[in-house]
């Protein structure tokens, strides 16, 4: 490790030790400036494949590539000093085989400097998770609503209701048994999020899975009101930055057209 390589204060083992303690604070980030803002208060910063929808205008996460995740992972790591950085493995980069998953996960970690990867799926990904963990790659799981499988799930619907609860619980247990250090629970009934959290010995990170989870995560653009066209029920908006940005851009445009900007204070003289 070079002298310039940051030593992040939270590790995957440190995350596991937080089970049942003070809830873990997690947000997504895709750029260096946002990572710097999140680093102060967040325990985990996720470079999510949601970047495809939030920053690149894709209709789903399915078009996100490994190169895109590496690009944004590098940017986020430049902005972090203490938070644990986890990067999503995108659709098609790990499902084929454990060997494919290792090849792409190892490249992702080597090129970004991130600490861990996240992948979607439970029982059917158990062998892959175990394969990665045995080879030194920390894995965060993701069960419930798994956006990469949105076409199979019939849309972004709540998962785990009624008889489907056992399937989601089995998926979460599979992540733990394979050696995952934490698992994201997305869009589940609150009672199921609570049951899974109590059943597991690894932390659960909820997104629309109730307050009993060991931590919570949101897409940062959702909670800041920047991704204004999309507001799931589980999102609380802590700001409406899209409205503020729109007003600022409108004021700038008006000043440019009226020649009120740039003023004398923004201009250079011949000798200064």
- Residue pair 121/98 in contact (Cβ under 8 Å)? The answer is no
- Residue 272: predicted pLDDT: 59
Average pLDDT (227-251) is 88
Q: Which CATH number fits domain 12-240: 3.40.630.30, 2.40.30.170, 3.40.50.300, 3.20.20.60?
A: 3.20.20.60
Q: Would you say 247 is a known binding-site residue?
A: no
- Residue 46: predicted pLDDT: 98
Q: Would you say 120 is a known binding-site residue?
A: yes
- Residue 126: predicted pLDDT: 98
Q: Would you say 88 is a known binding-site residue?
A: yes
- Residue 3: predicted pLDDT: 42
Q: How far is CA 3 from the centre of its chain?
A: 28
Secondary structure (3-state) at 18: coil
Percentage of the chain lying above the pLDDT 70 cut? 95
Of 95, 186, 212, 247, the active-site residue reads 186
Average pLDDT (208-218) is 97
Would you call 186 a catalytic residue per the annotation?
yes
Is the confidence at residue 67, as pLDDT, over 70?
A: yes
In this predicted structure, which of 23-27, 120-124, 180-184, 264-268 has the lowest mean pLDDT?
264-268
Cα separation, 3 vs 19, in Å, equals 32
Is the confidence at residue 29, as pLDDT, over 70?
A: yes
Q: Which residue in 76, 40, 38, 77 sits closest to 55, CA to CA?
A: 76
Average pLDDT (240-267) is 95
Alpha-carbon separation of residue 213 from 2, 19, 64, 202 (angstroms): 37, 9, 28, 11
- Chain segment 78-129, per-residue pLDDT in tens: 999 999 999 999 999 999 999 999 999 999 999 999 999 999 999 999 999 9
Q: Would you say 118 is a known binding-site residue?
A: yes
Secondary structure (3-state) at 91: coil
Cα separation, 46 vs 76, in Å, equals 9
- Residue 1: predicted pLDDT: 42
DSSP-derived letter for residue 23 is P
């Amino acid at each position: 490790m070079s002298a310039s390589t940051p030593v992040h204060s939270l590790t995957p083992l440190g995350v596991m030790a937080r089970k049942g303690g003070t809830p873990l604070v997690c947000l997504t980030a895709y750029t260096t400036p946002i990572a710097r803002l999140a680093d102060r208060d967040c325990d985990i910063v996720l470079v999510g494949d949601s970047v495809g929808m939030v920053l690149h205008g894709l209709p789903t996460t399915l078009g996100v590539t490994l190169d895109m995740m590496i690009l944004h992972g590098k940017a986020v790591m430049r902005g972090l000093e203490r938070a644990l950085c986890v990067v999503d493995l995108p659709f098609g980069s790990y499902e084929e085989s454990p060997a494919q998953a290792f090849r792409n996960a190892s490249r992702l970690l080597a090129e970004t400097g991130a600490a861990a990867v996240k992948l979607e799926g439970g029982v059917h990904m158990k062998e892959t998770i175990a394969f990665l963990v045995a080879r030194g790659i920390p894995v965060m799981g993701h069960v419930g609503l798994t956006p990469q499988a949105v076409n199979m799930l019939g849309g972004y619907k709540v998962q785990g209701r009624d008889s489907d609860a056992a399937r989601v619980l089995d998926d979460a247990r599979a992540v733990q048994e394979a050696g995952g250090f934490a698992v994201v629970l997305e869009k589940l009934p609150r009672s199921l999020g609570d049951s899974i959290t109590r059943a597991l010995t690894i932390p659960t990170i909820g997104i629309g899975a109730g307050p009993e989870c060991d931590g919570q995560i949101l897409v940062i653009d959702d909670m800041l009101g920047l991704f204004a066209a999309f507001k799931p029920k589980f999102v609380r908006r802590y700001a409406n930055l899209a409205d503020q940005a729109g007003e600022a851009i409108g004021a700038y445009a008006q000043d440019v057209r009226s020649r009120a900007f740039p003023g004398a204070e923004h201009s250079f003289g011949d000798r200064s």
